[in-house]
Chains A and B, each alone.
Chain A
Amino acid sequence: MMSKVLNVLLIEDDVIEVMKLNRAIASLQLKHNIIEANNGEEALDVLQNKGELPDIILLDLNMPKLNGIEFLGILKNDDVLKYIPTIILTTSSNQRDLLECYKIGIAGYVLKPLKYEEYITKIENILAYWSINELKQI
């Protein structure tokens, strides 16, 4: 079965977390493109170039400066960007954060597991799911 190659915007301030995703994709032998942004502001800069918008966004919540929820708010207020499915990838099991995110509009809320092996499984599933989804053509 043919699956799409996704452009994934990873918004994550932790270097090791970025490494984890890259290594996971590599070890899974997936072709997806990872665009990195270290925080919300950087991510907004990336998204300014609306010609090359990502297919999905993986968003960490706890970040310095513009945090995940604030970033999400800006994103969902943008008439173009609001269509990008955004999946929260966080260690926070805070129910209030979860509710707030769903209220603003997210495509998923995934908790980072302690074990790396479990992490790989989760990432594999997320990417597999979105690669078979029809997405809005921008």
Chain B
Amino acid sequence: MSQDKIDILQRALKREKAARKQAESILEQKSAELYESNQKLEAAYSDLESTYSQTDSQLQGVFEHIVDAYVVADVEGNILKMNASAVSLLGLKSIKDDCNLMELVRPDQYQDVFNAFNLVYKEGGSVSNLVVNITTKDQRDLIVQINASVIYDNGLPIASHGIVRDITQAKYEKEKLIKSEERLATLIQNLEEGILLEDENRKIILVNNKFCEFFGLQVPNELIGKDCKTVIEQIKLSFKDSKKFIDDINIAFNEKKPVLNEDLETVDGRIFERDYIPIFRDGIYKGHLWKYNDFTIRRQYRKSLEVERYKYSSIISNMNLGLIEIDLNDNILMANKSFSEITGYLEEELIGKRGIDLMTFGENRELIEEKVAERKKGKIDSYEVPIKRKDGEVRYLLVSGAPNYNLQGETIGSIGVIFDITEIKNLKFQKEKLLKKLEKSNDELYEYAHVVSHDLKSPLRSINALVSWLKEDNKDNLDAVSLQNIAHIETTLEKMEQLITDVLEYSSIGSDDGEKEEVNLNILVNDLIGILHKPSHINIKVLNTLPCINGNRIKLQQLFQNLMSNAIKFIDKENGLVEIDVKAQDDYYQFSVKDNGIGIDKKFHDKIFKIFLSLNKRKDSTGIGLSIVKKIVEMHEGEIWLDSEPTKGTTFYFTLKKL
């Protein structure tokens, strides 16, 4: 063995040793690394496990506390799991409650729901937004929306889980919205105005019946979506000025500003008012609305109103009555021609002035001021007032005034109608003067008649006294003839006395100021029958109850007395009969006094009522009695006439006004 060999062996051994050592240290290092990795892995796993379980419980919490109903159900539809929302939605008692979802579905939708889930179970995927009508366990009808997906176990579907949302209210709201939209559409369709709505591209969005009717177009539905320009072209011929019609449309369309109350006249005489209203949404032009309003009838009203106004204003300016309008400060706002003529002032001299300042005088001013003040309070009144014309002449006016109101009902002044009553007033003055004069002369006549009667009667008394003295003083010297003559003188004196009395009575009838009163003629006449001197062969009868009359008692008594005593006086029959009767007529009573006396020849019927005409020369007849009767009847607004046949009798008729 050589050293060399030994050396070689030794070196080789040495290298082997070193290599083994190195390998051992690498192994050791790797083993440590492995351990470390293993440790890390373990940690990671446990981390993962905890994360998983955490997520799972979190998810479960989400479902349980979710607002919407969350349900897990098996393939038959039996609920396996659900949250609190689901319990209350489905009307269950608790989350432990048993329930088959399919039993809640409205029977007519059962098949649809079944099919929808069946498809998902077979082919996978999910049920989304399925709308189902259900009846809950506590008998509420709901509309629900279902979103669900399938749960698999080893590739087999074992259940499904999902969200059930109550959309009943939303559904209802939507229906309401649709209805109100429909209503709005109906409203627009039936509006009295023609409506045309275009979008920004001038396509028709909406057009109503009236619009089509106005311009003879086809039904609205056929126009929707069409280009508005073609419609415009079609209807422009309806208008009198079709070029202007188109121009105006284009201007409005270009400017996109509202144009209101444009007047348009059609060829057939209709008048339209057109509104153009552009529509903007969020500042962006979205189209526009045309509105056509048929004003034909209203225009005609307006026109006839103007005609009426013209008519009345011409009546006002030409009528005979003065008319003025004054404001609250009594300034004249308007005066018509007649007022100018009445007052002598020109219209321009009157406007803005106070009539009170111009024309009143003296105490009349106060009267007018008082009346004007009353009128401001709303009093309607008429009064007479004298005024001074511009030329100083005094005229009498009848002023009828009423407050003038504006449309709001506030007093803004008054309107006065003025009638010149100067002539009437003068006539009235004249009449009053005449009446006074008449009264005075009547009075004078009355006095005169009394004086005359006194003066005439006095000598009669003297003659009578003297004659009696003659008779008395010459008692023994007078022969029979003289005594007879003296008796004749006395009779003549009596007749003359009666004549004077009657004339006085006749002349006093009209002037005697006896008061009128209600007179019961039945009592009056029956009393008279008792008082009257009548021979026993004459009978007086009242055939009917006599009425009450408004009149002068004394005169009425005289009336009946004269007629009755006349009747008695002229009865020549053995059995005399006087009948008094009455017949009611419209406004009058017709009385009659009938006798069976000597009668009166027809030719005397008119003369009989004339004064001093006595047909029979009698001691007791002066011929005034019937004149007095006639005068009394006329004083009571009645008439008198007679009916008579000579030798048979006479009936006097007369009327007296009813009460």
Chain A residues close to B by CB (< 8 Å): 14, 16-17, 19-20, 23, 62, 90-97, 112-117, 119
Which A-B residue pairs are the 4 nearest by beta carbons?
A16-B462, A116-B468, A94-B450, A116-B465
Closest to B465 in A: A116
Question: If the complex has contacts A91-B454, A92-B454, are A114 and B466 also in contact, measured as CB distance less than 8 A?
Answer: no
Please count the residue pairs between chain A and chain B whose beta carbons lie under 8 angstroms apart in the complex: 56
CB distance from B628 to the nearest CB of A (A): 16
Question: If the complex has contacts A114-B460, A114-B493, A114-B497, are A20 and B465 also in contact, measured as CB distance less than 8 A?
Answer: yes
Closest to A19 in B: B465
CB distance from B183 to the nearest CB of A (A): 96
Residues of B within 8 A of A119 (CB): 461, 465
Number of interface residues of B (CB under 8 A): 23
Report 6 cross-chain contacts, Cβ distance below 8 Å, ordered by A residue: A90-B454, A96-B447, A114-B461, A114-B464, A116-B464, A116-B468
Cβ of B469 within 8 Å of any chain A Cβ, yes or no, is yes
Closest to B501 in A: A93
Cβ 8 A contact of A16, one of B454, B457, B465: B465
Residues of B within 8 A of A114 (CB): 457, 460-461, 464, 493-494, 497
Cβ of B455 within 8 Å of any chain A Cβ, yes or no, is yes
Residues of A within 8 A of B461 (CB): 17, 20, 91, 112-114, 116, 119
Residues of A within 8 A of B504 (CB): 93
CB distance from B590 to the nearest CB of A (A): 32
A91 with B451: CB separation less than 8 A: no
A16 with B466: CB separation less than 8 A: yes
**Residue interface bits B478-516, CB-to-A below 8 A is 1, else 0:** 000000000000100110010000001000000010000
Given the complex of chains A and B, what is the CA–CA distance between A92 and B454 in angstroms?
Answer: 6
Given the complex of chains A and B, what is the CA–CA distance between A32 and B453 in angstroms?
Answer: 32
User: Max chain B CB contacts within 10 Å: which of A19, A62, A91, A95?
Assistant: A91
A92 with B493: CB separation less than 8 A: no
**Residue interface bits B444-479, CB-to-A below 8 A is 1, else 0:** 001100110111011011101110110000000000
Residues of B within 8 A of A14 (CB): 458, 462
User: Max chain A CB contacts within 10 Å: which of B464, B466, B497?
Assistant: B464
CB distance from A100 to the nearest CB of B (A): 12
Residues of B within 8 A of A113 (CB): 461
B450 with A92: CB separation less than 8 A: yes
Question: If the complex has contacts A23-B469, A114-B497, A117-B468, are A17 and B462 also in contact, measured as CB distance less than 8 A?
Answer: yes
Residues of A within 8 A of B493 (CB): 114
Closest to A94 in B: B450
Residues of A within 8 A of B447 (CB): 94, 96
Cβ 8 A contact of B457, one of A23, A91, A95, A96: A91
Residues of B within 8 A of A93 (CB): 450, 504
Given the complex of chains A and B, what is the CA–CA distance between A112 and B461 in angstroms?
Answer: 8
Closest to B460 in A: A114
Cβ 8 A contact of B464, one of A23, A95, A96, A115: A115
A62 with B460: CB separation less than 8 A: no
Residues of B within 8 A of A115 (CB): 464, 468, 490
